[in-house]
Structure 1
């Protein structure tokens, strides 16, 4: 990660480099999260339901909540990934350290929470599918299993995003408590120089006035 600015970002106002941007680990991982989210909700939306008795029934053990849960976390993950990609683009332009800190904490909290929701979704969909009757002619099996598989993969991608956000936060915290003085080149403790006050205090010889006063005290009396 680039340590040129606060919280692992470059210095604010630096020119935008698109090649360096797309090569960032955070950007790559966020793009993978975006792709996996599309696959999860796309698989369930396209062939996650089958028509029975004139109405659509979820293939996950006829449990509409399972289909709704998988679609919901996928759609929100898709939107959140777009938002965080935009945040990565704007991160370099954030001149305020507090703004960067709030963004990093938001990334950490959301990514960790969404990794947990994908874990719950993976367990939920897997359990429901194991209890389901296989649809006639294998309709939608690949889509249903694909949604389960990419829910599993999404656990690690979102956990990876949370880990990168934690590293950023730790880097920003370490920089905040770093010593602000420079050490002596010889390895000793740093010091500061004090202004020389003797020039202002003694602009005249210190004993000049006393000598003149003494000479006046011992003048011979006039007759």
Structure 2
């Protein structure tokens, strides 16, 4: 039972090892998703708006479509928060003692990762299309062009990082389904030792 694995992690109560954690493929991909969301958010929020000398109001550099900039900023913010939350869950995951709770966490990871992959695919298509039809005169001195291209590129990358994250979660789910030989709760090692050391009660 020492080698027991429940959905990719051993029994609850183990010591957290940062080196092992950050070397896991799941963690690496999760960090990439987190970084890409920051890049997209930063590019559009900082350089996604401009104005021509004769205008007095800023407009979105993506074909003057406010929805394009709003989409990128909103999704970048939500993706950043979601990635942060799941990174925290990954850290806490080995401490979850219930097999059913671990299963729910892995299933949530599968669903959320698949959803974000779809969201960024839509975002990539939307931003790329709006940038393609943008007017040259709306971007004086090519201001913000690099940021626009970067947000499009990293939206494209995000489609694959979240898809890979989904596949890793599916693998973890299958691993857990194959390795768990019983259902319900399993006892924390510390609790198990306490039960073994406790004297038998008299009838």
> Does residue 73 of structure 1 match 2:75?
yes
How many residues get paired? 176
Contact 1:5 1:12 (8 Å CA) reproduced: no
Q: Which one of the candidate residues 153, 174, 184 is aligned to 1:170?
A: 174
| CA–CA distance in structure 2, aligned partners of residues 172 and 113 of structure 1 | 22
Q: Which one of the candidate residues 116, 137, 147 is aligned to 2:141?
A: 137
| CA–CA distance in structure 2, aligned partners of residues 5 and 55 of structure 1 | 58
Q: 1:5 Cα shift?
A: 2.0
| CA deviation vs aligned residue, 1:67-90 (integer Å, no higher than 9, x gap) | 111111111111111111100100
RMSD, aligned CA: 1.4
| CA deviation vs aligned residue, 1:138-175 (integer Å, no higher than 9, x gap) | 10000000000000001111111101110111112223
| CA–CA distance in structure 1, aligned partners of residues 26 and 96 of structure 2 | 17
Q: 1:105 Cα shift?
A: 0.6
Given the two structures, how large is their TM-score scaled by the length of structure 1? Answer: 0.76
Given the two structures, how large is their TM-score scaled by the length of structure 2? Answer: 0.83
> Does residue 61 of structure 1 match 2:77?
no
Counterpart of 2:15 in structure 1 is 15
**More relative contact order in 1 or in 2 (CA 8 Å, sep 6+)?**
2
Counterpart of 2:91 in structure 1 is 89
| CA–CA distance in structure 2, aligned partners of residues 38 and 127 of structure 1 | 22
Q: Identify unmatched segments of 5+ residues in structure 1.
A: 179-223
Worse-superposed segment, 27-36 or 48-57: 48-57
Q: Which one of the candidate residues 152, 157, 168 is aligned to 1:153?
A: 157
Worse-superposed segment, 6-15 or 55-64: 6-15
| CA deviation vs aligned residue, 1:63-121 (integer Å, no higher than 9, x gap) | 00011111111111111111111001001100001110111011000000000110000
